[in-house]
Structure 1
């Protein structure tokens, strides 16, 4: 009888060990899924705001005709979390301004190349040249005045004039071309 009780105890312990292994495996799978999802691109609220990495940094700051703001941040940084909503709303409500967000934990190369020492580190670029920077969280009113100051002299973005779609063919509108004014004629030609 003791052997039977001992055998049943061993079987129950072995099956509970298998359950623990199964649960541990599922926990590890969930941790991996969480880690992978945090590395994925963050969906940001506005098309003027984008997450950039080492590869996109140079092209982002060099975009002509706009004030390109780069926010160096980290997910664990409390001041970054405080500054982010104010910065994003200021950019979303302004004209020719774009915001690039660089996570320093994922883009260490560019953060060290440009000399980021503390976060949040926010830098203003026009045509690839840094015109202003600040470190730490500042009030939204200051952010608004900085954006207004540095975007004041930027040219307005003009869109080409479009013709309405051709109703007979349904083709897309094309840019209207203005005929070139000329007061010269090729040799041997006369005006009528």
Structure 2
């Protein structure tokens, strides 16, 4: 695995996203989902009320592994092996326990497999599940496919339809709706500030 480790903003949020592992570009930029896969991911979320900026500011972005696993000789990034996954597990599990989110969004097969029994994507995507933590608390889980440019799963059926079903579930979830409302309120405040400043200048 190649460092440095990459992680999102440390935000206290009711929603937690768990990715697979950073790519080479994420390592150089020091932030998750900052290249091709990220562009696709944030295109999924923007119509649901959170653009990239709002999402990064309000959702804890974690990962199964924090360092770049290197390239696969056959092309693309190498999938972290079981030992690497086990070695990094304490980081995202600690975040999960500290945050105790109401909604978890695992992205890709590797992340989904950490929370739910192994199954085909078609049996996981498009439905809402429950994660039962050993400490006694629960969270809803809405899995998503990995938005990698090398993946065709979400571009073909049944992936297209199942992805839209998953996004609809996210949009309807109370934890997500709370973040959307918060972002909208902040946006209104930002719009009001220039008007307030202009009014102050006129009155002076």
TMscore range, shorter length:
0.3 to 0.5
Return the structure number with greater strand share: 1
TM-score by length of 1: 0.36
Using CA pairs below 8 Å that are at least 6 residues apart, which structure has the higher relative contact order? 2
TM-score by length of 2: 0.35
> Whose Rg is larger?
1
Return the structure number with greater helix share: 2
